[in-house]
């Protein structure tokens, strides 16, 4: 299904961003999972793009990484609707500077 391809792309980009940011901070998966109080296996599946993470989990991860939530979505802005499958839903949200 085309919609599944778009979802896979989104999950993989978010997972790669989490893995990169975690690595930049020197946290192992185990240490970071314990720090944000999620299961290490679940974190691994999120980082591999195999699992959808809820907004609550993404907020925990962003807080643990000490980054704004939109940083987890970096790279998605280059995937305009014309580059995603036609039946995929895509929305971009811009947050005001504080």
Q: Is residue 88 part of a domain?
A: no
pTM: 0.77
Q: Is residue 44 part of a domain?
A: yes
Q: What is the pLDDT of residue 92?
A: 40
Q: Is residue 96 part of a domain?
A: no
Q: Is residue 97 part of a domain?
A: no
In which domain, by residue range, is 19 found?
2-83
CB-count exposure of residue 16 (10 Å: 0-12, 13-18, 19+): middle
Q: Is residue 37 part of a domain?
A: yes
Identify the CATH number of the domain in which residue 49 sits.
Answer: 1.10.260.40
For residue 40, give the nearest of 51, 50, 30 by alpha carbon.
30
Residues 76 and 13: beta-carbon distance below 8 Å: yes
For residue 41, give the nearest of 30, 52, 57 by alpha carbon.
30
Q: What is the pLDDT of residue 3?
A: 53
Q: What is the pLDDT of residue 16?
A: 93
> What domain count does the chain have?
1
Run means of pLDDT, 10 residues per run, the chain, 98 residues = 69 94 96 97 96 95 96 82 47 43
Q: Is residue 39 part of a domain?
A: yes
């Amino acid at each position: 299904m085309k919609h599944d391809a778009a979802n896979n792309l989104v999950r993989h980009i978010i997972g790669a961003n989490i893995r990169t940011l975690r690595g930049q901070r020197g946290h192992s998966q185990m240490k970071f999972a314990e720090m944000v109080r999620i299961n290490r296996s679940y974190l691994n599946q999120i980082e591999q793009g195999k699992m959808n993470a809820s907004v609550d989990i993404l907020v925990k991860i962003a807080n643990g990484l000490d980054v704004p939530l939109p940083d987890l979505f970096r790279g998605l802005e280059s995937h305009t609707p014309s580059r995603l499958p036609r039946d995929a839903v895509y929305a971009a949200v811009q947050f005001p500077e504080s």
